[in-house]
Amino acid sequence: MNETLRTRDCDKVLLVQAEFDGELDAAEAATLAAHRQHCPACQAAAAALQRARLLMDGGLYEPAPDDVRRRVMARLAAAQPPAPAPLWALRSRMRAWWSAGIGFGLGAACAAALALLIIAPSGPDPTQELVASHIRALQPGHLEDVVSTDRHTVKPWFDGRLDFAPPVKDLKNEGFPLKGGRLDYVDGRPVAALVYQRDKHIIDLYIWPGVLVGGRLPPTAEYHGYNIVHWRWGGMTFWAVSDVEPAQLSDFAQAWQRAL
Partner 1 sequence: MQHRRRAFGLRSEVPASPREPFEAVILPELDAAHNLARWLMRDANAAEDVLQEAMLRALTYFPSFRGGNPRAWLLQIVRNTVYDALKLDRAAQFVPLAGWSEDDDIVGIDLPSGEDDPETTLIKSRDLRRLQELISGLPIELRETLVLRELEELSYKDIAEVTQVPIGTVMSRLWRARRALLQAAATQERSR
- Shortest Å distance, C-beta 130 to partner 1: 23
CB closer to partner 1, 114 vs 211: 114
- Could you say which of Zn ion, partner 1, none residue 110 binds, taking C-beta under 5 to 8 angstroms by partner kind? partner 1
CB closer to partner 1, 103 vs 215: 103
Of 190, 178, 174, the closest CA to residue 154 belongs to 178
- Could you say which of partner 1, Zn ion, none residue 27 binds, taking C-beta under 5 to 8 angstroms by partner kind? none
The single-letter DSSP state of residue 159 is B
- Could you say which of Zn ion, partner 1, none residue 49 binds, taking C-beta under 5 to 8 angstroms by partner kind? partner 1
CB closer to partner 1, 183 vs 221: 183
Q: Are 207 and 154 in contact (CB under 8 A)?
A: no
- Shortest Å distance, C-beta 100 to partner 1: 4
CB closer to partner 1, 97 vs 164: 97
CB atoms closer than 10 angstroms to residue 108? 6
CB closer to partner 1, 54 vs 213: 54
- Shortest Å distance, C-beta 73 to Zn ion: 50
Mark 3-42 with x for binding to Zn ion (rule: CB under 5 A) and - for no binding: -------x-x--------------------------x-xx
- Shortest Å distance, C-beta 7 to partner 1: 5
CA angle 69, 244, 173 (to 5 degrees): 100
CB closer to partner 1, 176 vs 185: 185
- Shortest Å distance, C-beta 141 to partner 1: 8
- Could you say which of Zn ion, partner 1, none residue 42 binds, taking C-beta under 5 to 8 angstroms by partner kind? Zn ion
| Ramachandran angles phi, psi of 113, nearest 5° | -60, -40
Strands 146-147 and 189-198 come out as: unpaired
- Could you say which of partner 1, Zn ion, none residue 28 binds, taking C-beta under 5 to 8 angstroms by partner kind? none
- Rounded CA-CA distance 129/121 in Å is 8
CB atoms closer than 10 angstroms to residue 254? 13
CB closer to partner 1, 5 vs 119: 5
| List of residues 6+ apart from 26 with CB closer than 8 A | none
Write the burial class of residue 250 (CB in 10 Å: 0-12 exposed, 13-18 middle, 19+ buried).
middle
- Rounded CA-CA distance 231/217 in Å is 10
Q: Are 232 and 211 in contact (CB under 8 A)?
A: yes
- Rounded CA-CA distance 224/2 in Å is 61
- Could you say which of Zn ion, partner 1, none residue 97 binds, taking C-beta under 5 to 8 angstroms by partner kind? partner 1
Residues that bind Zn ion (CB under 5 A): 10, 12, 39, 41-42
